[in-house]
Amino acid sequence: MSTDYSLPSDFNETLVSKYDEAIANGHINFNGELAVNEKIQELAEGTNINFQLTLLESLVHRPEKGDKELDPFANPEPELTIVDHLGKKDELKLVYNKFPVVPYHFLLITKDYVSQNTPLSASELMSMYTILKNVQTQNDDEWFSFYNCGPESGASQPHKHVQFMTLPKGFIPFPQLIAMKSEPFLPNDKTEPLQDGALPFAHFVARLPDSDFDEDDLSLFFASLLQRTLTTLREHDATHISYNFIMTTKYMLMVPRSKASYKNLGINSCGAMGLILCKNNDLLQMVKEDSVLTVLTDVCFPSSAGQKSDEYSY
């Protein structure tokens, strides 16, 4: 039994073989076969922004919005459990998403019930980073992790969970482009997280250092982005704390959220980084007519690019 961040040495092999077995035995309901993906670009202030629109009309076998009593993560099925012991206090485990749209999609969950409205702990952040480092060595897939935090973030399950998924092949999301152009982030009073002034909605990016770092460093990076998010929420009189958080081995992105959906289109962390899932053709046509930038501007807050933190900021 491990009570730290190390994963079993056969983690990558198990991730694939146990998933294939769970699919074959019907324990995982894969929904992605009929997904139709379209990569598009939209122009924002002279800059092309990458998005992917996914039409998936066959999203079936889905649970209703979860609650504490009907908690799918209270007793995860053994067939869906990948790693039973993880985290500084052995408080975490890894399970497959039972309803994936992208193969091998899995989740980090707390063993005991913890609210999805809480910030990520040092142990959760370090576990995420360790997992990303491990899966990133697998073929040429680009993995990312995401956390839908708060009532307007697009989350439907209230039991704390972080998700891990691969990016569409060849898709470079806007935070990666922002991070690639920058030096590693130094969390201090003088350094602001990155925001591309071309994008109309608030988004805070921190490029991670290339050298090794520990859980305290990760917590500092996360806290810096959260401070900017809290300041944005307060400036706009938000009555809740909701944000999307994305982490890869290279960068972190945090996007404060004003509401969970645009018209009938739910937007979660995938949406906030530009991967828009439409569950019927009407929604797809609406996004095409209105534009993804309009959708994200509506469900987020105005950009604060160029604005420096002051004594009133968190």
Catalytic center residues: 161
What the block records as the tokens of 240 is 């809740």
Smallest gap from residue 62 Cβ to ligand B4P (A): 7
Local structure of 245: helix, strand or coil? strand
Q: Which of 44, 92, 95, 238 binds ligand B4P (CB under 6 A)?
A: 95
Contact call for residue 299 and ligand B4P (CB under 6 A): no
Of residues 161 through 180, those in contact with ligand B4P by CB under 6 A are 163
Contact call for residue 99 and ligand B4P (CB under 6 A): yes
> Which residue is it, tokens 């470079």?
172
175 vs 29: CA distance, rounded Å: 31
Nearest to 66 by CA among 159, 183, 152: 159
Contact call for residue 110 and ligand B4P (CB under 6 A): no
164 vs 7: CA distance, rounded Å: 15
Smallest gap from residue 289 Cβ to ligand B4P (A): 19
Taking the least distance from each CB to ligand B4P, the nearer of 63 and 302 is 63
Q: Which residues are registered as beta bridge partners of 162?
A: 108
List the x/- string, 254-273, binding to ligand B4P by CB under 6 A: ------------x-x-x---
Q: Which of 2, 3, 39, 63 binds ligand B4P (CB under 6 A)?
A: 63
Smallest gap from residue 252 Cβ to ligand B4P (A): 18
Q: Which of 148, 242, 244, 304 binds ligand B4P (CB under 6 A)?
A: 148
Taking the least distance from each CB to ligand B4P, the nearer of 79 and 298 is 79
Taking the least distance from each CB to ligand B4P, the nearer of 171 and 213 is 171
Contact call for residue 156 and ligand B4P (CB under 6 A): yes
- Whether 174 and 273 have beta carbons less than 8 Å apart is answered as yes
Smallest gap from residue 203 Cβ to ligand B4P (A): 17
The residue range among 83-91, 100-108, 124-132, 235-243 that interacts with ligand B4P, by the rule CB under 6 A, is 100-108
Q: Which of 50, 54, 219, 231 binds ligand B4P (CB under 6 A)?
A: 54
Nearest to 41 by CA among 30, 31, 33, 52: 52
267 vs 275: CA distance, rounded Å: 9
Concatenate the DSSP letters of all residues of 68-124 into one string: SSS-TTSS--GGGEEEEEESTTS-EEEEE-SS-SSTT-EEEEESS--BTTSPPPHHH
> Which residue is it, tokens 């039994």?
1
Taking the least distance from each CB to ligand B4P, the nearer of 205 and 275 is 275
- Whether 259 and 243 have beta carbons less than 8 Å apart is answered as no
Contact call for residue 135 and ligand B4P (CB under 6 A): no
Taking the least distance from each CB to ligand B4P, the nearer of 73 and 185 is 73
Nearest to 246 by CA among 168, 132, 85, 105: 132
Local structure of 28: helix, strand or coil? coil
Residues that bind ligand B4P (CB under 6 A): 54, 63, 72, 80, 95, 97-102, 148, 154-157, 163, 266, 268, 270, 275, 277
